[in-house]
Amino acid sequence: MGEDRREGKPGEPAANAMWGGRFEQAPDALMTAINASIGFDRRLAAQDIAGSRAHAAMLGAQKIIAAEDARAIDRGLAQIADEIAAGDFAFSEALEDIHMNVEARLAEIVGEPAGRLHTARSRNDQVATDFRLWVRDRTDATIAALERLMRALLDQADAGADVVMPGFTHLQVAQPVTWGHHMMAYVEMAARDRDRFRDARARMNECPLGAAALAGTSFAIDRHATAAALGFDRPCANSLDAVSDRDFAMEFLSAATICATHLSRMAEELVLWSTAQFRFARLSDSFSTGSSIMPQKRNPDAAELVRAKVGRILGAQVALTVVMKGLPLAYSKDMQEDKEPVFDAADALEIALAAAAGMVRDLKPDPEALKRAAAQGFSTATDLADWLVRVLGMPFRQAHHVTGALVKAAEAQGVDLPDLPIEAMQAVEPRIDASVYAVLGVENSARSRSSYGGTAPDQVRAQVARWRAALS
């Protein structure tokens, strides 16, 4: 922490230089501790400096401050950005937040012009702008990370389009599907996550800067110019809403929670599949760990940690929602508690997405184990029922009943449906002939599911091609 820049002239009270004119005494040490946010909002430094440079340029262009002052401010802010990037900037808790730390350092560099930077601006619209810029940046990074995960899943789907595996409902074997089809399910989930972040980004891309404390300003500012300079689509249309709104942060957390839930579901399957009981797939050494006491262990710790991240992210969503739920317009100091949950959730989601993409990229399915499992549990029973409808013209409900009786007969003989003798089948339904066995193999079953979005290899490859084109 840097030096305490609160000090005034000799004999003057040590009041905060940014707002101390109204006060006779310095804040209590406990007040300073609870009030300061520099310990976490220093992460907004790049966005704070970008917003200040855009504001200074606008003030100069509007002749609200002298052009030479605007240029001096811009040079000073650029120097501060370099100092922070190099790790040479002394942050001070006494200066409360990133805004006042930057402004105090600016005064040291350029002198009097620094005092003109805050013209027609409040920390209320300043922090709202900084925070939007930060969340927007992380939204863009999250979209990119989701697309990397989608590409890893597409590679798995393409390579495993013909690999048969069991599809489950209630974690019981239901019907044969393909590995590629299973991977494509997660592509669709990740795509929805990406679209949620895209939608949130479009809504958050309005600029609060120029709303000032809550009512706007009497200076002839150009809010459209600062909005454009910072890459926003437009200024926020209502100054009260501009400084009050944290929807963009809550929406980011909402999208992050759904995304983390999807990652957790995928991670749970990776944990199951890598067990000795399933042996469906193997995680690489890069995403597994060992045991300090059991030398045989290969623990899927990366998947387990991804699975756990949803707790932190959902917790952040709840925390910010509770902070905001009872606040009147416009700004309240409660809103200082908005950043840490978002920072923590964004960090958790970033590493979870990266780990998920790495695990998927390195994942090695076991085709033989998958095929064996797909053939268990009477997984082609639905194919048999469909055959009875299609070939014998049975109503489906009757076919369902007949198939159930055939499953019972197979279970009694200790065999699966493809191994049930034709005589046993005909004892239940005399019209069944040997052609029924063509639909009872797991590969035939998977190939037959050729409806749009089905598990048939050709359908999987078509979906892979569609998504590759969309991502390109």
Q: Contact, 361 vs 383, CB < 8 A?
A: no
Considering only CA atoms, which of 430, 429, 447, 450 is closest in space to residue 438? 447
- Asked if 70 contacts 59 with a C-beta cutoff of 8 angstroms, the reply is yes
Residue 269 and residue 275: Cα distance in Å, rounded?
A: 10
Alpha helices in 245-380 (DSSP H): 247-273, 301-324, 339-362, 367-374
Give the integer Cα–Cα distance in Å for 352 and 266: 11
Rg (C-alpha) for the chain, rounded Å, is 31
Q: Exactly one of 284, 286, 291, 450 is catalytic; which is it? A: 291
Give the separation between CA 109 and CA 70, rounded to whole angstroms. 14
Computed from CA positions of residues 118, 123, 124, 126, in that sequence, does the dihedral angle turn out positive or negative?
positive
CA dist 322 and 49 (Å) reads: 30
Q: Are 151 and 471 in contact (CB under 8 A)?
A: yes
Give the residue among 304, 312, 315 at the shortest CA–CA distance from 355: 304
Helix (H, G, I), strand (E, B), or coil: what is residue 24?
coil
345 contacts 316 by C-beta, under 8 angstroms: yes
Torsion sign over Cα 340, 342, 348, 351: negative
Active site residue 291: yes
Q: What is the largest CA-CA distance in the chain?
A: 108
- DSSP H stretches of helix in 223-246: 223-229, 239-244
Return the SS3 of 289: strand
Given 170, 292, 435, 451, the catalytic residue: 170
Return d(Cα 467, Cα 229) in angstroms, integer. Answer: 34
Bridge partners, residue 169, by sequence: 172
How many C-beta neighbours within 10 Å does residue 160 have? 23
Catalytic residue ranges: 170, 291
